[in-house]
Amino acid sequence: MSETQRIDVSRFVRNVATKKGWVLNQDPDFLASLIEGLEANLLRLGYLQCPCRLSWDDPKKDKDIICPCIYAGEDIAQYGHCFCSLYLSEEFARSASEPASIPERRPEHLFP
C-alpha cells in the first residue's frame, strides 16, 4: 500500500477545514458519503480526486480537482460552499442554509 492510501480521509478533511477556516458539511450522512467517495477514489486512483467530478484517471490531468480542488476557495467565497458542498464558509454554516447546486468552475476543456 502506498503512502497516499494510508491517509485517514476523515482526519484529512477535518484538518483542511481547520487550516483554511472552512467548516465541513453539517449533514452527517452527506458528509460520510463524500468521505466514502474520496476514500474510494484514493483506493482506485491513488489520489484524492473530487468525489463529484469525472476523472481522467491521471493525476496530472486531474491535478486541479484533487481535494481540496483549486476552485474551492473561489466557490466558497462566492457561494458559501465548494462544488460538492464538502466545505462551507463559516458564515454559510452559521446561516443554516442548505447548500444548492452551483455552476461548475472547472473549464470545459479540462473535462474528460
CB of 83 to ligand SF4, least distance (A): 4
Residue 67 makes contact with ligand SF4 by CB under 6 A? yes
User: Could you tell me which of 1, 67, 14, 60 has the C-alpha nearest to residue 37?
Assistant: 67
Residue 85, classified by CB atoms within 10 Å of its CB into exposed (0-12), middle (13-18) or buried (19+), is buried
CB of 34 to ligand SF4, least distance (A): 6
Using the contact rule CB under 6 A, the part of the chain among 2-10, 55-63, 65-73, 94-102 near ligand SF4 is: 65-73
Residue 69 makes contact with ligand SF4 by CB under 6 A? yes
